[in-house]
Chains A and B, each alone.
Chain A
Amino acid sequence: MANEKVDVVIVGAGASGSVYASVLAKAGKKVVLLETGPDWQLGDLISSDFWGRRIKPVGPPFLLEGKNPFGYVYQAGWGVGGAALHYFANFPRLLPNDFKVKSEHGKGLDWPIDYADLAPYYDKVAHDVGVSGDAKAEEIWRPAGEPYPMPPMKTFPGGDVWKKGFEATGIRLVPAALGVNSTDYKGRPACIYDGWCHVGCPIGALANPLVTYLAAAKKAGAEVRTQATVTRVLTAASGQKATGVEYYDAKKEKQVQEASIVVLAAWSAQNPRLMLNSASDKHSNGLANASGLLGKYLTAHFSSGTSAIFDEDLQPYMGTIGAQYFSYDRYDKNAHKAKGAFGSTFLVAGWAQKYSGLGGVANARSDLFGAELAAFMKRAARGYTRIGAFGEEMPNIDNRVELAGDKDEFGTPLGKITHSYNEDAIALFNANFEEGLTIAKASGAKEVWSNRGAMPTIHLMGGTIMGNSAADSVTNSYGQTHEIPNLWIAGPGIFPTSGASNPTYTIFALSLRGAEHLAENWGTVSD
């Protein structure tokens, strides 16, 4: 069934799609968002690690291969709000040293823009969604910008107790910037520090799309169609423009939505899957794939966690799931060069702990079971806390998404994600564990240990990287594909390198930059 042509169709109603929808709807464009999952409301966000799993995907899985298969579902979105419905709302920025890694170190890739190009959008996003923090304190690591609109969040003993150990190790901590309200902001209430952010914040204190950009988009007239699964991007016979998308609706009936602009904001792996599945005689290897890089250069973060139990009552169940303190003091790409490592590390300290679930206290000692586990849970209930060190993986062309032979219920080939860490990343992972123990021991904890396990894969990025031309990338710095001017990509898929910072703040900022550029240049890029 064909629907009335619209100005913009956006695939995915998560963080990046919501920004595009908001900006373009406010610019007077007729916008339709197609979201494969349900239409969640704030009232659906039950405070429970069980029930929080409902807002994550069960769709056709990507097949996972490589030495470090990318476990994607925990951090993926399903339904309006996407992954940002249950993100932790840590809001660190990338830093200036993230943008020219290839030029400065001979490794990785360069971005076609600099920190200065993105900085104004970080400031705009902070005011749009509400960020709490101390921007002045962060200036020891980055150029000055605007202050955050709210003061830092409250801290709790589970964060404060780490100060001594960091200071002894020569690492400076500042209040973490979070996309959570420390005060009432724009009609949304202040956080009440119950620590359930990771299963969704139903009071709207946390800046998820339902209360920020998606709400603004809907208010400006954007239409959201849920349970709408896009299978292909449609292109004109010339191959030079996108004409819309094909999707299956809630009744599993095929629909076509024509549009002047198509924005793919599904996910770093799903966007290339769709583009590969949209191959035509003019784009035989998938859309916008002259470079052969579509689906390539996937990157992930890994975290080296260190746990501790203190004698004090740390009230570990209180606070936010976002960190209380953070530090860029190990963000230099060569900070752990002596250990054979390369890449940035972003340090976080102290966040609310719940007791079950993947990130819960019980899994802090996943080797324990039976009576030993029961004893540990009692011991940790009030004295447990942890720190984390997010590491940067350099882009590797072999880390990729491609189409598999198996198909989903709509006949779309499943995606296959291949991912392995290289020696630089493994060395950084190990170096951060070593330093984490040093910090923990210096903090005066009663028990300290490393949360070692399989090397984790967090925050999938890349796959549709930005660059200067169709020879070396899929999109330009705005997310516009080089080869099909009215086909745009939004989200972390356009990151050429990952830095070590949690990506959502950068996703918002890049999307705002791209969406505003699109709105301002509408006449030159739409059909």
Chain B
Amino acid sequence: MDSIERRVFIRGAMIGVLAFSLDGVETLLTPRQAYALGVPLRTLQPEEAKTLEAVGEALVPGARPAGLVQFIDQQISIPPEEALLEARIMNVRPPFANFYRAAIGAIDRASKANNGGRGFAELDAAEQHTFIDNMRQNKIDGWQGPGAPFVYFLLRTDAVDVVYGTMDGYASLGVPYMPHIAPTRSW
């Protein structure tokens, strides 16, 4: 069997979607599909989701429709040993929901404290950019929560995951994905 034939052969194993709850039924979807279908969130509160979505989109354009919020919400709602989050390999102690709650809360508190009571999602694009750049460099006054540069790094990685780490993401960059064992079409 030559290399190309083998690659096609082994692509037959198509697994990798996540289990979302839609109308009370466990459904296998990609995060992008979950976003498009408006799948209800299981763990994140609406205000948390709003902030996370805004931060993700500011970090990596395209993170919102790629389903960043749906991805993180699903991932922090399952047993940590099943999680696919970067937090898993960055020594974040489970349950991972604790980290995300603390990180999102820190962002919104700092935003409100430094922007006349406006949460991160209420800032305009330039203000969001400045806020994130300061977060990256640990230059936000009164930050309370997990280290700001670490929060920047992990949320940026999550957003990169859903935007560029998928088969669609590779296609958007014009490079082949070349899986041995493929995730689903959109992953």
Residues of A within 8 A of B (CB): 43, 45-51, 53-54, 56, 58, 61, 64, 71-74, 189-190, 192-196, 201-203, 316-318, 355-358, 360, 362-363, 366-367, 369-371, 373-374, 377-378, 381-382
Contact A50 B183 (CB under 8 A): yes
The B18-37 residues at the A interface (CB cut-off 8 A) are none
Q: How far is the CA of A366 from the CA of B87 in the complex (A)?
A: 16
| Number of cross-chain contacts by CB at 8 Å | 147
- CB proximity of A416 to chain B, nearest CB, Å: 13
Contact A355 B88 (CB under 8 A): no
- CB proximity of A383 to chain B, nearest CB, Å: 11
Q: How far is the CA of A196 from the CA of B16 in the complex (A)?
A: 16
Given A47-B181, A48-B183, A73-B90, A317-B153 contact (CB < 8 Å)? no
Chain A facing B: main interface SS: loop
- CB proximity of B165 to chain A, nearest CB, Å: 3
Q: How far is the CA of A56 from the CA of B164 in the complex (A)?
A: 22
Contact A50 B161 (CB under 8 A): yes
Interface residues on B, range: 35 or more
Contact B153 A366 (CB under 8 A): yes
The B158-187 residues at the A interface (CB cut-off 8 A) are 160-161, 164-165, 169-170, 173-183, 187
- Quick check: is B60 within 8 A (CB to CB) of the other chain? yes
Contact A381 B174 (CB under 8 A): yes
Contact A48 B61 (CB under 8 A): no
Q: How far is the CA of A71 from the CA of B15 in the complex (A)?
A: 30
Q: How far is the CA of A49 from the CA of B80 in the complex (A)?
A: 17
Q: For B13, give its contact among A43, A73, A194 (CB under 8 Å).
A: A43
Q: How far is the CA of A202 from the CA of B15 in the complex (A)?
A: 14
Contact B173 A378 (CB under 8 A): yes
A-B contact pairs, 12 of them (CB 8 A): A43-B13, A45-B181, A47-B180, A48-B179, A50-B187, A53-B83, A58-B88, A192-B6, A355-B175, A366-B156, A369-B59, A370-B129
Q: How far is the CA of A373 from the CA of B85 in the complex (A)?
A: 21
The B74-89 residues at the A interface (CB cut-off 8 A) are 80-86, 88-89
Contact A358 B86 (CB under 8 A): yes
- Please, which residues of chain A bring their CB within 8 A of the CB of B81? 58
- CB proximity of B50 to chain A, nearest CB, Å: 19
Q: For A203, give its contact among B6, B61, B94 (CB under 8 Å).
A: B6
Contact B187 A48 (CB under 8 A): yes
- Please, which residues of chain A bring their CB within 8 A of the CB of B10? 202-203
The B88-131 residues at the A interface (CB cut-off 8 A) are 88-91, 93-94, 129
- Please, which residues of chain A bring their CB within 8 A of the CB of B129? 370
- Quick check: is B148 within 8 A (CB to CB) of the other chain? no
A-B CB proximity, top 4 nearest: A356-B165, A47-B179, A381-B173, A192-B3
- Please, which residues of chain B bring their CB within 8 A of the CB of A61? 91, 93
- Quick check: is B132 within 8 A (CB to CB) of the other chain? yes
Q: A47-B182, A366-B153 are in contact. List 11 more A-B contacts (CB 8 A).
A: A47-B181, A48-B183, A49-B161, A50-B183, A53-B84, A317-B175, A317-B178, A360-B164, A362-B164, A363-B160, A382-B174
- Quick check: is B139 within 8 A (CB to CB) of the other chain? no
**CB nearest to B87 among chain A residues:** A53
- Quick check: is B7 within 8 A (CB to CB) of the other chain? yes
**CB nearest to A205 among chain B residues:** B180
Contact B60 A58 (CB under 8 A): no
- CB proximity of B86 to chain A, nearest CB, Å: 7
- Please, which residues of chain B bring their CB within 8 A of the CB of A201? 180
Contact A377 B164 (CB under 8 A): yes
- Please, which residues of chain A bring their CB within 8 A of the CB of B13? 43
Given A47-B183, A203-B180, A53-B86 contact (CB < 8 Å)? yes
Contact A189 B6 (CB under 8 A): yes
Residue among B86, B93, B94 with the most chain A CB within 10 A? B86
Contact B89 A45 (CB under 8 A): no
- Quick check: is B70 within 8 A (CB to CB) of the other chain? no
Contact A46 B183 (CB under 8 A): yes
- Please, which residues of chain B bring their CB within 8 A of the CB of A377? 164, 173
**CB nearest to B165 among chain A residues:** A356
- CB proximity of B146 to chain A, nearest CB, Å: 14
Contact A72 B179 (CB under 8 A): no
**CB nearest to A362 among chain B residues:** B160
- CB proximity of A142 to chain B, nearest CB, Å: 33
Q: How far is the CA of A203 from the CA of B165 in the complex (A)?
A: 22
Contact A73 B91 (CB under 8 A): yes
Contact B61 A357 (CB under 8 A): no
